[in-house]
Amino acid sequence: MGSSSFDPTNAVRFDLPQGRVHAGGDGERLLLVPTSAIDDIALSAPAEAVEALGRALGTAIGRRAKARLGDASSAPMEAFVTQLAGEVALAGVGVLGVERWGRALVVLVEGSPLNGSLLAPLIGAAVEAASGRGVACTLLSRDEHVARLFVGGDGGVGRVRDWIASGMPWADALARLQGGGA
Amino acid sequence: MSKAHTIARLESLLARIHSRAEGPRVVAAARVVAAPAAPGPVPVMHAPPPREAPAVTEAEIVVDVEVQVATPETVLAVVVEEEPAPPAALESREQLVAAEPAPVAESAPVESEVEEEVRAPISSRRPIPPQPEEQLAAMAFGAEEPQPARHTPPPESGRLLAAPAADFDAEVTEVREAQKVASPVPLVPHATAAVLAPSDVVADVVGAPRPAVPATFVAVLDASLAL
């Protein structure tokens, strides 16, 4: 499509006689799950399981966004973000936005019910599925309203994660990643 | 004229003499004291008797003279002895000047002073004293709250500072003439030419041009993946 506006018409179809919920043009079956159940899994399940769950959720969202974009490689920045943000909103994950800190790509998610351990693999997988590039993602910050995540390669994400774990502010970590800062 | 008629007239005349002999005796003595006296001691007994005008003008002067001589002389002599004899050198005018002022003449100026105190001028600093009615009310019902002064003090008087003589001439009351300014010198432009030498180093580029913003999301993602 490549449209700069998101069209949610018939994005989700509820088949009440069959007791089914379908999303997207291919009719992927969905399951309405309470967020409390997802939180319980994220808190109790192993980290690999949580990451696998998050990537599965994100891959489904990214695939639907790619279906809307068509040729994602040539899609403008606004159009890509709009379609991806629309699918994220339909899934109930939150409001997605993008920031550029120099060359670093930072994704913002506002009002998400998911915690950081589940949100980081979800966003990474969604961008990967929508763009067709293999990406890594890590959580930079999280407060009551906004979660900020860095999307990059495996090496860069790994360094930023280590710097933040050592106590460096995430902005300084991004600056250092680009050759500046301490 | 019958004899009875004459007796009746004599009796009526005698009654008149008695009645007149009572009142005017003192006045007659005062007149004797104030009259100019002859130099030297005056014998009391030889003082001239006062003359009563009505008695002189009566028609029956013969009968009157006989009666008057007998009655008032003793009374007049007593009165004259009580008055001190005036100095022989003084004239009647001097007596009037040397006389002590009467008590009535002393009381008159006091009343005028009181009136002056009450009628104080408007510009006076002194408040006007309360009216007699107010004084009576204060005496009867007690003094009320003190009233403020009825008059405010007049503005301060004094000499005002005059403008300097060099700035203002008070004697000139007409339209003043402005000071004449000398005619300006004709303007002549003064040109200044810049000296500019040719140079090869003019521009100095600071920093690098800002990289173009990637047009697509994939380009942005690739830039981030390259980090």
Q: Which of A73, A77, A153 sits opposite B225 (nearest CB)?
A: A153
Lowest mean pLDDT among A133-142, A145-154, B127-136: B127-136
Q: What is the pLDDT of residue B196?
A: 77
The domain limits of chain A are: 12-177
Query: Which of B220, B225, B226 is nearest residue A100 as measured by Cβ atoms?
Result: B220
Interface probe for B, chosen from A77, A98, A123, A151 (most Cβ of B below 10 Å), is: A77
User: Could you report how far apart the first and last alpha carbons of chain B are, in Å?
Assistant: 185
Say if B59 falls within a structural domain.
yes
Contacts of B123 (CB under 8 A, 6+ apart): B151, B154
Q: Which residues of A touch B215 (CB under 8 A)?
A: 76-77
Q: How many domains does chain B have?
A: 1
- Is B7 part of a structural domain of the chain? yes
Rounded average pLDDT over A56-72? 93
What is the SS3 assignment for B216?
strand
- Please report whether residue B222 resides in a domain: no
CA–CA gap between residue A26 and residue A24 (Å, rounded): 6
Determine the Cα–Cα distance for residues A34 and A38; give it in Å rounded to an integer.
7
Query: Are A73 and B224 a contacting pair at CB < 8 A?
Result: no
pLDDT band at A83 (very low <50, low <70, confident <90, very high): very high
CATH 3.30.1380 is the classification of domain A12-177: yes
In a domain, B124, yes or no: no
- Structural domain contains residue B116: no
Q: What is the mean pLDDT of residues A65-86?
A: 92
Burial B109-138 (b: 16+ CB within 10 A, else e): eeeeeeeeeeeeeeeeeeeeeeeeeeeeee
- C-beta separation of A75 from B217 below 8 A: yes
Would you write out chain B's pLDDT as a tens digit for each of its 227 residues?
Answer: 678 899 999 999 999 998 888 765 554 444 444 444 444 444 444 444 555 545 444 444 454 544 454 444 444 444 444 445 555 444 455 555 555 555 554 444 544 454 555 565 666 566 666 677 777 777 777 765 666 666 766 767 777 766 665 666 667 677 777 777 667 777 777 777 887 777 777 777 777 777 777 888 999 999 999 98
The pLDDT confidence band at residue A153, using thresholds 50, 70 and 90, is: very high
The answer to whether residue B21 is domain-embedded is: yes
Q: Which amino acid is at B211?
A: P
Full domain range(s) for residue B52: 3-98
Cβ <8 Å between B226 and A153: yes
